[in-house]
Amino acid sequence: MAYLDTNPNIIQWASEEVIVPYKSPLDGKWHRYFPDFIVRMRDKDGNVVVKMIEIKPRAQAVPPTPKSHGSKPTKKYLREVATFGINSAKWHAAKEYCADRNWEFVVLTEKELGI
C-alpha cells in the first residue's frame, strides 16, 4: 500500500470498496466478492485508467495439479480444486464487471510482485 501512496501516477485508490456478485460453482448460490484494490491511475501515455486488482498466492491462481492417494484424490487436492473454482468464478464476474465500466481486472501473485 505504500507503493500506492507514493507513486505519482496513482490518482486514487481504495481497498475492498467494490462488491462484485458472483455465483459459486460449489453451491450454485450468489455470493459477494470484494476485490483487494480499485486503483485510478495514469498509464504511460498519461491516460487515466482504472484497475481492479486482486492479490493471491500463485498456487491459488493456477489450476491445481492432480494428486491422489491410491485411486482417491487427496483432501488437499480437493480443497485446492474448490479454491481455484471459487476464485475462477470471482474473477470471471470481476472481468465482466470491469468490462461494463471500461476498467481492467488484474490478478497479481508473488511472481508479478517480485517476491
What is the value of pTM for the model shown?
Answer: 0.87
Tell me if 33 sits within 8 A of 22, measured CB to CB: yes
Instruction: Give the rounded percent of residues in the chain with a pLDDT score beyond 70.
Output: 99
Task: Give the SS3 label for residue 36.
Answer: coil
Residue 86, all three cell numbers? 471459487
Q: What is the per-residue pLDDT across 56-94, written as a single tens digit (0 to 9) for each?
A: 999 999 999 887 677 788 888 999 999 999 999 999 999
Q: What is the per-residue pLDDT across 7-21, written as a single tens digit (0 to 9) for each?
A: 999 999 999 999 999
Where do the domains of the chain lie?
A: 2-113
What CA–CA distance (Å, rounded) separates 25 from 71?
A: 24
Tell me if 49 sits within 8 A of 32, measured CB to CB: no
